[in-house]
Amino acid sequence: MADCLFCKIIAGDIPSNKVYEDETILAFRDIAPQAPTHILVIPKVHIPSVDGVTAENSGVVAHIFEVIPQIARAEGLANGYRVVSNCGPDAGQTVPHLHFHILGGKQLALEMA
Ligand code: 5GP
Ligand code: ZN
């Protein structure tokens, strides 16, 4: 997607602080961290949000969830972490390319809404 911020990060047109990369996914540090560790994990294929996950593309989502524990271990998040995906305007999604936030390194607030 030519106009997508995260597609530009994948392409290397916008720099990012990468923590993990393979053929199908990329993880990098959030530019405005909400916790001591705040990493975004994204598929390299452009999926707009959780709402765009289908039987055809869900394999990359499963792969993301296999890699998240590896990233968490590498980041030293042995005491726990949160995985969040904001989907659509009511959830406050600001970048329309599927991404999972990994948040940790402190006791996180419990509010869900
Ligand atoms: P959302 O609000 O859509 O759930 O999450 C988007 C996230 O992307 C935000 O946490 C925001 O700080 C992060 N973000 C926005 N632009 C950039 C950028 O250019 N680089 C990085 N590393 N993160 C970004
Ligand atoms: Zn994209």
Q: Ligand 1 center to residue 59 CA distance, Å?
A: 23
- To test the pocket of ligand 1, the residue of 31, 39, 86 to mutate (highest count of ligand atoms within 8 Å of its CB) is 31
CA distance 23 to 42: 12
- Give the per-residue pLDDT at 113: 78
Q: Is the CB of 16 under 6 A from ligand 1?
A: yes
Please give the number of the atom of ligand 1 that sits closest to the Cα of 32.
12
At 5-27, the pLDDT tens digits run 999 999 999 999 999 999 999 99
pLDDT given for residue 86 in this prediction: 98
Residue whose CA is at the smallest distance from ligand 1 atom 12: 32
Alpha helices, DSSP H, located in 75-102:
none
Residue numbers in the chain where pLDDT is lower than 70: none
Q: Is there an atom of ligand 1 within 6 Å of 32 CB?
A: yes
> Looking at residue 36, what is its pLDDT?
98
Question: Which tokens go with 44?
Answer: 């390299």
| pLDDT for position 112 | 76
Look at residues 100, 98, 101, 4 and name the one whose alpha carbon lies nearest to residue 49. Answer: 98
How far does the centroid of ligand 1 lie from the alpha carbon of residue 99, in Å?
A: 9
Q: Is the minimum distance from the CB of 94 to ligand 1 under 6 angstroms?
A: yes
The CA-CA-CA angle for residues 60, 69, 87, to 5°, reads 50
Whole-number pLDDT of residue 43: 98
